[in-house]
Structures are given as C-alpha cells and as structure tokens.
C-alpha cells in the first residue's frame, strides 16, 4: 500500500510538472554514497564493534548456561526433588535472561536501533544536504534514490548525480 501511494503521488507530480514545462529528474544510489563516504564507513565500523561485543556477551551467557545444564543433567538423578526444581528454575531464568538481553540489544527499537540512529543521523543529514545542493545547482525537479523502494526500469546515466553528491561531500 505504501509503495502504491508513493508511486501514485510521484506519477501525479510528474504529470503535473510535464504539463507546466520540461521535467528535470536526477537519481542517486545512496548505497554507493554510503559505501564511498569515509564517515559512514567509520560509523559502520563503530556499529560493528558494538554488535560484536554484544554477540560475545550472548555467547558467554550461552556457554555458562550450557555448562550449568550439562552439570545438571549429570547430577539430576541423585538430587532431591526440591534441589532439582530450584536448579530447573535457575536454568529457565538463564534462558529467559539470554532472550531478554538479545531482545534489548537486537530487537525492535532495541539498543542497536538507537545506536544506528545516533551514529548515522549526522551522516544522513550531511548526505541529504549534499543531495539538495546538487539538485538546486543542477536545477532538478526531482531526485530519486534508485537503491530504495521505488525501482526504475530505465534511467539515463546523465541524470545520475551520485558522483556529484560524493564530490560535494569531500
């Protein structure tokens, strides 16, 4: 539904502009810009380091759970019922704690999302400003991101302003 509404609004704007004069369209490949921008690469490395740290913490928690679970399996036959129930609850709590930690870091609106927003927002603003500047300099009516949801089946290379945006960012 969202794609359809974007396409319909775009089509409306294009038809309206065509009726008023010559339409000037440009497009960028934001993925290429982000890959070529040193600030974005540094930000991605920072995010990767944070992610790696969290993954290592999860592995550590899982190893601890495996050790306690293996020990429990070996000794559960000689344990009293009360002791077995207590250890089973502890193991279940550990499983829940691991899941909660994973969710808090990688889940919807988790810490990864927050970190990405915090780290990438200034870079995205910088890219957007450069795109706006190039579009104004080139007197473009529209600039589309060809790496996004709207897909072009055909686009002339002369309208690709990706290199100019990268140049503006340098």
Number of CB atoms found within 10 A of residue 98's CB: 16
pLDDT in tens, 20-68: 568 788 888 888 888 899 999 999 999 999 999 999 999 999 999 999 9
The model carries a pTM of: 0.68
Q: State the pLDDT at residue 8.
A: 45
More confident residue, 160 or 70: 70
More confident residue, 125 or 9: 125
Q: Which letter, b or e, does each residue of 129-156 get, where b requires 16 or more Cβ atoms within 10 Å of its Cβ?
A: ebbeebbeeeebbebbebbeeeeeeeee
pLDDT in tens, 84-121: 999 999 999 999 999 999 999 999 989 999 999 999 99
């Amino acid at each position: 539904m969202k794609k359809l509404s974007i396409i319909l609004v775009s089509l409306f704007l294009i038809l309206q502009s065509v009726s008023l004069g010559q339409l000037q369209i440009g497009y960028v490949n934001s993925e290429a810009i982000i890959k070529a921008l040193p600030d974005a690469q540094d930000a991605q490395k920072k995010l990767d380091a944070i992610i790696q740290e969290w993954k290592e913490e999860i592995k550590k928690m899982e190893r601890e759970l495996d050790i306690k679970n293996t020990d429990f399996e070996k000794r559960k036959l000689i344990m009293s019922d009360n002791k077995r129930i207590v250890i089973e609850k502890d193991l279940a709590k550990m499983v829940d704690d691991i899941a909660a930690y994973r969710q808090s870091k990688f889940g919807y609106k988790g810490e990864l999302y927050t970190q990405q927003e915090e780290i990438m927002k200034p870079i995205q603003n910088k890219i957007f400003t450069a795109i706006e500047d190039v579009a104004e300099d080139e007197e473009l009516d529209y600039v589309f991101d060809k790496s996004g949801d709207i897909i072009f089946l055909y686009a002339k290379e002369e309208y690709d302003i990706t290199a100019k945006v990268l140049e503006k960012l340098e």
